[in-house]
Structure 1
Amino acid sequence: MCSTIEAGESHAKKVLGNLDAGGAAQKYSIIKAVVGEYSVTELCKLFGVSRSGYYAYVKRQNVDRDRPVRDLILSVYTKYDGKYGYRQIQLFLLHDHGVWINHKKVLRLMQEMGLRSRIRRKHRNHYASSEGGRVAENVLQRDFRAQAPNQKWVTDITQYRVKDTWLYVSAIKDLFNNEIVAYHMDVKNDRQLVLQTFTKAFEKTKDVTGLIVHSDQGCQYTSYDYHDMLPTVGAQISMSRRGNCYDNASMESFFSHLKTEGLYPYDIRNLDEAQRRIEEYIQFYNESRPQRKLKKLTPVEYRRQLTA
């Protein structure tokens, strides 16, 4: 009976002939072909090559095989200024290039190339006093799902500092497709900031009967003007519990993306540039940034799919 080594040699010779033909690379190729049947140690000893040399050969082969995918991942990562991690890169690969790659492989290749997303900055929520205004019950109750457009909107205000000036951004988000329906910017954080935002929203969306509009208890949302305005168009007011940011987590999430992806990566020197960056990001977010929750579509694509 042939020994294990002899059997391995016989099988290898039948597959590829002379063991010395083609040099070390040929031997490594033979070993890789039969390694499932025999141990690497035995085969390397048989062919007179080192185990470390064999593993280096396998690693080089894997690198070469993944090179097209690596190049594609790097191009997407670079296109979006290195702001995204493997899960969002996976969505951009599908949306921009029509290529679906397992998220574990995207993660592995990004780690091997040393590509990491920018880390989000932590932020604190600031709530203005609602004393002297009106407060509504929490109708939304953290149910951030909607079956059709204009059923549920969430709204909030965030701030961004440019040198010694604060820029305030008021925005409205439709929970059906996470689209930013309207936004308005000003250096004053008052009720007019909010009222102007809703004026823009109602110019685009004529019929909002039955709409639920959810906000926190900031003074802009407890103002009499705000509470008088929404019922006149058939909308119902909903408010977070006092100081509970999770009740409006969907809007908080958008502002986090806006700052970490659209503002923090850049050296913004003046208000005009800050406003331009915000406008560009909101357009990008609505039209070009796919989301896993939207079946890997962008907010605008998801909405259009409903009417297609």
Structure 2
Amino acid sequence: MSKKLFAEKDIATLSKNQYVKTVSSKGITYSDEFKKHFITEYSKGKYAREIFEEAGFDVDIIGMQRVKSASDRWKTAYKAEGVLGLKDSRKDSSGRPRIKELSIEEKYARLEAQMKLVQAENELLKKNPIVGKGAKEVKLPTSQKYILIREVIEKYNLIHMVKFLCEVAEVSRSGYYNYFSAKSIEQRKRKDKKDGEAKEMILKAFNFKGRKKGARQIKMTLAGQFQCVFNLKKIRRIMKKYDIVCPIRKANPYRRMMKATQEHRVVPNLLNRQFKQETPGKVLLTDITYLNYHGGQRAYLSVIKDGSTGEVLAHHMSNRITMDLATDTLTKLKKNRNFKKAKDALIHSDQGSHYTHPDFQKQVKNLGLHQSMSRRGNCWDNAPIESFFGHLKDEVDIKSCKTFGELQQEINKYIRHYNHTRFQWNLKKMTPAQYRNHLLTNRLGFFQNVLYKGYTLM
């Protein structure tokens, strides 16, 4: 078929010809009379162009491609069925066929096919790791829909349902058949082969010097060490296709889910590094660290520390980094008899998911504490507790602990030592517990002195 389109002027000219039944911008429907006339004249030895021109057609408007296609079609039909083959079996116009009224059985079969396709699509989406509560709608790629349609058709033997299932999946039928054509399959094989070769080069750069790398490091390593230039988008596409993930600073999927649900809330940095305010129970610092012990096992330690005295007020350990790790530490703080909450007391942490969680923030509010958070990626905003974790890991023989119970005993023992028998230069050479009592005594003496002076003045 010719791709040439008729202008309105051309349509008006062609419509005046007696041998034209209908004409649109895309094609012409000739009368049966002209077809018979064409075969008669052609059998006399005339050329197709000559016959059209004698019938009053402007070949320059029609185009030789249409003339040739029509003549070949009519000759083939006449040879196969004679004059009957030239008769137009369609209705009076060349539009779309009438919509067939479906029977009850056909309607039921279509509904059943649609249900099976939707079930298969839902099962596939459930396996997608980024689909979760509050996540945006995830749509399957078109290629995946083609594969899904074929699998459903083969599994349930849904004959003659391709067109309907393509409409349900909102993909084109021609695209479906093209996807499974020999040419397309061969093209995909060639692309997979090229991607496989690229993957080998990317893996060389990824594992260069035994250090895993991200896409940008891979690009620079390929250019600098292997004299191979790859586009950054191609590197990322290959890494995604073959599941090559850099373990260093990789994206946190839970952070993305938190943003999507908008349940987690970050609060401002109210503390602003004013750790020592010479008032016990006013500045509380909290954080979580990991402890690697015997045989590659890992435990997690959550701590709440007094910023003014350096005393560890509460701690909790677990072999799983669940939400309970932070909330149970708050519960232990509440039970600590030595903890006396000061006026306008606040608890300061980083922006970890435990501390932005609604449950943690609700418990903080119930304790009558304000909440403060470090700036993103700034460990200095919570330096004292980071320093505590550093001393703990240096002074406790964590590696020798064979069980979680042994590790708990060692950590409990060290924290008792840290609070009561480990003297600190910056705390006037006192232990945290002694320094807390020292501050409380000084404050008590100060208030007694103020009261005494006020009494004598009266």
The structure with the larger Rg is 2
Shift of 1:289: 0.6
Separation (CA, whole Å) in 1 of partners of 2:326 and 2:350: 12
2:350 to 216, 219, 224: 216
**CA deviations over 1:109-161 (Å, ceiling 9, x no partner):** xxxxxxxxxxxxxxx99997363411000011111112211100000000112
Q: Which residue of 2 aligns with 1:135?
A: 266
For the Cα contact (< 8 Å) 2:349–2:372, is it kept in 1?
Answer: yes
- 1:176 alignment partner AA: S
2:413 to 263, 280, 284: 280
Separation (CA, whole Å) in 1 of partners of 2:390 and 2:327: 23
Q: Which residue of 2 aligns with 1:292?
A: 425
Unaligned runs of 5+ in 2: 1-247, 442-458
Shift of 1:217: 0.7
Is 1:263 aligned to residue 397 of structure 2? yes
**CA deviations over 1:19-50 (Å, ceiling 9, x no partner):** xxxxxxxxxxxxxxxxxxxxxxxxxxxxxxxx
Q: Which residue of 2 aligns with 1:178?
A: 310
For the Cα contact (< 8 Å) 1:208–1:235, is it kept in 2?
Answer: no
Is 1:244 aligned to residue 378 of structure 2? yes
Separation (CA, whole Å) in 2 of partners of 1:185 and 1:139: 28
Is 1:228 aligned to residue 228 of structure 2? no
SS at match of 2:355: coil
Identity of aligned residues (%): 38
Separation (CA, whole Å) in 1 of partners of 2:426 and 2:340: 27
Q: Which residue of 1 aligns with 2:197?
A: none
Separation (CA, whole Å) in 2 of partners of 1:304 and 1:125: 43
1:149 to 263, 280, 285: 280
Distance change >3 Å, CA 125–CA 207, structure 1 → 2: farther
- 1:145 alignment partner AA: K
Which region of structure 1 is more displaced relative to structure 2, 190-199 or 205-214?
A: 205-214
- 1:140 alignment partner AA: L
For the Cα contact (< 8 Å) 2:285–2:385, is it kept in 1?
Answer: yes
Separation (CA, whole Å) in 1 of partners of 2:323 and 2:351: 12
Shift of 1:202: 1.1
Separation (CA, whole Å) in 1 of partners of 2:249 and 2:332: 25
Separation (CA, whole Å) in 2 of partners of 1:307 and 1:211: 16
- 2:412 alignment partner AA: E
Separation (CA, whole Å) in 1 of partners of 2:279 and 2:249: 30
RMSD (Å) for aligned C-alpha atoms = 2.2
- 2:314 alignment partner AA: A
Shift of 1:209: 4.8
- 2:275 alignment partner AA: F
- 1:192 alignment partner AA: D
**CA deviations over 1:232-291 (Å, ceiling 9, x no partner):** 222110001111111111110000011110135x52222122111111110110011111
SS at match of 2:291: strand
Separation (CA, whole Å) in 2 of partners of 1:232 and 1:271: 32
SS at match of 2:371: strand
Q: Which residue of 1 aligns with 2:436?
A: 303
Separation (CA, whole Å) in 1 of partners of 2:249 and 2:384: 14
Shift of 1:211: 1.0
Q: Which residue of 1 aligns with 2:324?
A: 192
Separation (CA, whole Å) in 1 of partners of 2:422 and 2:376: 32
For the Cα contact (< 8 Å) 1:262–1:278, is it kept in 2?
Answer: yes
Distance change >3 Å, CA 307–CA 147, structure 1 → 2: closer
Shift of 1:223: 0.2
- 1:152 alignment partner AA: V
For the Cα contact (< 8 Å) 2:280–2:439, is it kept in 1?
Answer: no
**CA deviations over 1:87-115 (Å, ceiling 9, x no partner):** xxxxxxxxxxxxxxxxxxxxxxxxxxxxx
Is 1:158 aligned to residue 289 of structure 2? yes
Q: Which residue of 1 aligns with 2:300?
A: 168
Shift of 1:206: 5.9
- 1:151 alignment partner AA: K
For the Cα contact (< 8 Å) 2:279–2:342, is it kept in 1?
Answer: no
TM-score between the two structures when normalised by the length of structure 2: 0.38
Determine which structure has greater relative contact order: mean sequence separation of CA pairs < 8 Å that are 6+ residues apart, divided by chain length: 1
- 2:287 alignment partner AA: D
Separation (CA, whole Å) in 2 of partners of 1:155 and 1:125: 23
The number of residues matched between the two structures is: 184
